Chains A and B, each alone.
Chain A
Amino acid sequence: MTRVWRRIAAHEWRIMRTDGLVWPLALLLATTVAWGLYSGLQSRTVVMAGITSAQSDESQRYSRLQEQLARRDAAIARGDSQIPADPRSASTLAGRTGSRAAVLPPTPTALLSVGQSDLLPSALRVSSEPREQMLAAAEIENPHRLLDGRFDLSFVVVYLLPLVVITLAFNLLAGEREHGTLALLLAQPVSLTQVVSAKVVVRFGFVLAVSLAMVGAGVLIAGLGEGPAGAGWRLAGWTVTVLVYVAFWFAVSLLMASRGWSSATTALATAAVWLAAVVVIPSLTNLIINATYPVPSRVELVQATREASDSASTRGSVLLAQFFEDHPEMAPVVAPGQPAAPNFAATRVAVASEVARMTEPVARRYDEQLARQQQAASWFKFLSPALLAREALDDFAGTGPHRHADFRAQVDRFHATWLEYFNPRIVQRAALASFDDVPAFTYTEESAGRVLGRAGTALTALALLAGLCGLVGLRRLRTYPLTHSI
């Protein structure tokens, strides 16, 4: 930074201030950022409330079970003739009564983006119930879906920041050329590149200073919550994403300014780029993906589960016999010639296994289609800087689809473990030694490396795009028409 460059930058800042545009703009920016943060905070509160409710529901159920056990122990001690049933029985605990809450804790940076946390449940109740029923229940219960409008900080960054940038930069050069000061300026020993870079850097600094100061203040006031660790790198990644995204819009403004159009034409052209990148391409992408890989509705899935369940229930005894054939190790040992005592719990297990087997293809089709959609989305995002930014912002905030998919996969594995643990015990009518033996879910946070790898790809693409626009813009400046507009 030479002395002359600093002088131009200082002058530019002075002109911007006296212009009277920056303060209303700063106010607008600060207000929308604050609003975005507020809605993020609200979302985090709702998510936390859902999690707390699932957890307290679990602990209440277990304390009731403890009371039942105490009553039963007392009855045994008194030598009562009527001994209550053992609440530790596998068939009791495997069902709703013993269900465990599987919880995806919000990250410390969750308030920076609502992301998908209002669409995807963060608390599930895992029991022997079919997986589909568990997901459907959670989705219906998820209260956040009722909150309308997703005016979160990601929205402010992705949609509104570019408009602020465009407002500040559309007459980067055309303004001074049209007014006539550019001629006197360039009669001095300064290059157009120096002038333009100083102008861009001052505006860039202004936008970043206002927005990051607001975000910093918001984070200090709202706190980062008591989520899992990683506040540092998540916050850093998020900030870098904002920086690169804002840089991209300045690069686009520079590219447009370097064409030598009038300020009106430049403003219009830049706004058209905004419309395409931020509105049109993302909506078209959505449209194309949904048309190419339509996802069957979850209602259909639940319906299929119900039908399978009805059909399986009527074949209970047949299924049980089949089940024992498949799992001879669980078969009851009966004295030859004696009829086996009816085992209703075992029948339920056999029926549930059959339901799972019957719905598996439908569920798999559903999951595969979702996976295909996400695959397509992961390619389509390279078409729009807004999609790239959104992906990286949500991923760093920990509210994107990837972290949630990872959570769901962990829940699925836990569900499988649950069935594996309980089914033999139910069939054998066993009771657990202690409530503590009921498997519990612990969420394993994704590693920083994985998130960085994912968001880093989007971020790199965005940076390359910004660099390309900036370089082409700077090159074009060499032939910038100083004396007339095109």
Chain B
Amino acid sequence: MLEAVNLTKQYGTHTALHPLNLSIGPGEVFCLLGANGAGKTTTINLFLNFIQPSGGTATIAGLDVTTQPVESKKHVAYIPEQVMLYRNLSGLENLEYFSALAGHDQYAHADLLALLDEVGLGREAALKRVSTYSKGMRQKVGIAIALAKKASALLLDEPTSGLDPKASNEFSALLQKLRDQGVAILMATHDLFRAKESGTRVGIMKHGHLVATLDTADLGHADLERLYLEHMHD
């Protein structure tokens, strides 16, 4: 579903991502760990075709993202670290617009409100202008936008940043549900605990290299933290 083959990115002489080979199948949650500047966002941006790769390919549902940028985006939903919305519209209106662009005109307001409620944004808040929202509330709308798209792949760049613990926990439940529905998920995160909880696999990234890939089933929580810190030593 999500596949990188020798995917690289260079900024001038600086290599932000060394040849990356990665395949995430349906029902898999791949958690990308790594220090600040390790190359996690770079990887996700390459899948979104927001930046041009210096080499290699990224494919979504078998579609090369650089040659079929529009088509490939029908199959992927995205939640950025900072969900930014149209300030003068309500959360509901934002959700409605992005869903329509994603090809889902069919949603009634009731459906959309129910979806917002599911991610923890109540009806009252959903009808308010986004300019009055907190960061976490925007994040919830971002999650709803991603869910409404019903895509077969999901790219998450620290999606729970700014969420309160309860919402964060609910998000994990949602991920679990999507995983069961067969969605392929790539999530960049700093949250080792959630990575262990939600992920099927974790990858540790360092200076643009994917230095280790592990199945979470084989790990205890303490193991992951120990391994991670070991890798962070130079």
> Which residues from chain A sit less than 8 Å from chain B, CB to CB?
3-4, 7-8, 11, 14-15, 18-19, 179-181, 183-191, 479, 482-483
Contacts and interface: CB of A to CB of B under 8 A. Distances in A.
A185 B101 contact: yes
Contact of B77 (A7, A181, A187): A187
B85 A181 contact: yes
A88 B82 CA distance: 95
A138 B12 CA distance: 71
B86 A181 contact: yes
B97 interface: yes
Interface in B133-185: 142, 145, 149, 155
B46 to A, nearest CB: 11
Contacts of B54: none
B84 A181 contact: yes
Contacts of B26: none
Contacts of A187: 48, 73, 76-78, 155
A185 B102 CA distance: 10
B98 interface: yes
Given A11-B97, A18-B88, A190-B70, A184 B102 contact: no
The secondary structure that dominates the A interface is: helix
Contacts of B51: 482-483
Contacts of B100: 7
Interface of B: 45, 48, 50-52, 69-71, 73-74, 76-78, 80, 82-89, 97-98, 100-103, 105, 142, 145, 149, 155
B148 to A, nearest CB: 11
B188 to A, nearest CB: 14
Contacts of B155: 187
Contacts of A183: 48, 50, 78, 80, 84
Contacts of B77: 187
Given A183-B50, A187-B78, A191-B69, A8 B101 contact: yes
A382 to B, nearest CB: 38
Contact of B80 (A3, A15, A18, A184): A184
Given A184-B142, A483-B45, A189 B70 contact: yes
A18 B129 CA distance: 11
A304 to B, nearest CB: 70
Nearest to A19: B88
A325 B94 CA distance: 96
B84 A179 contact: yes
Contact of B98 (A3, A188, A482): A188
Contacts of B71: 189
A197 to B, nearest CB: 14
16 contacts: A8-B101, A15-B88, A18-B88, A179-B87, A180-B82, A181-B84, A184-B78, A184-B80, A184-B83, A184-B85, A184-B142, A187-B77, A188-B102, A189-B74, A189-B101, A190-B70
Most B Cβ at <10 Å: residue of A11, A180, A189:
A189
A151 to B, nearest CB: 35
Nearest to A20: B88
Nearest to A188: B101
Contacts of B45: 483
A250 B142 CA distance: 33
Contacts of B52: 479
A184 B98 contact: yes
B43 to A, nearest CB: 13
B27 to A, nearest CB: 22
A464 B50 CA distance: 32
A83 B133 CA distance: 103
Nearest to B97: A11
Given A7-B100, A7-B101, A184 B73 contact: no
A14 to B, nearest CB: 8
Contacts of A18: 88-89
Contacts of B87: 179
Contacts of A184: 78, 80, 83-85, 98, 142, 145
B88 A189 contact: no
A483 B88 contact: no
B78 A191 contact: no
A3 B76 CA distance: 20
A180 B138 CA distance: 12
A179 B101 CA distance: 19
Contacts of B149: 188
A184 B95 CA distance: 11
Q: Which residue among B73, B74, B82 has the maximum number of chain A CB atoms within 10 Å of its CB?
A: B73
Contacts of A11: 97
B21 to A, nearest CB: 23
A15 B52 CA distance: 30
A11 B84 CA distance: 16
A186 B88 contact: no
A186 B101 CA distance: 10
A296 B34 CA distance: 80
A3 B70 CA distance: 15
Contacts of A14: 89
Nearest to B80: A183
A479 B101 CA distance: 22
Contacts of B98: 184-185, 188
B64 to A, nearest CB: 15
Nearest to A194: B70
B84 A15 contact: no
Nearest to B51: A483
Contact of B50 (A15, A19, A479, A483): A483
Residue of A3, A8, A187 contacting most chain B CB atoms (<10 Å): A187
A450 to B, nearest CB: 49
B75 to A, nearest CB: 9
B113 to A, nearest CB: 20
A407 B77 CA distance: 69
B102 A15 contact: no
A107 to B, nearest CB: 46
B107 to A, nearest CB: 14
A4 B99 CA distance: 11
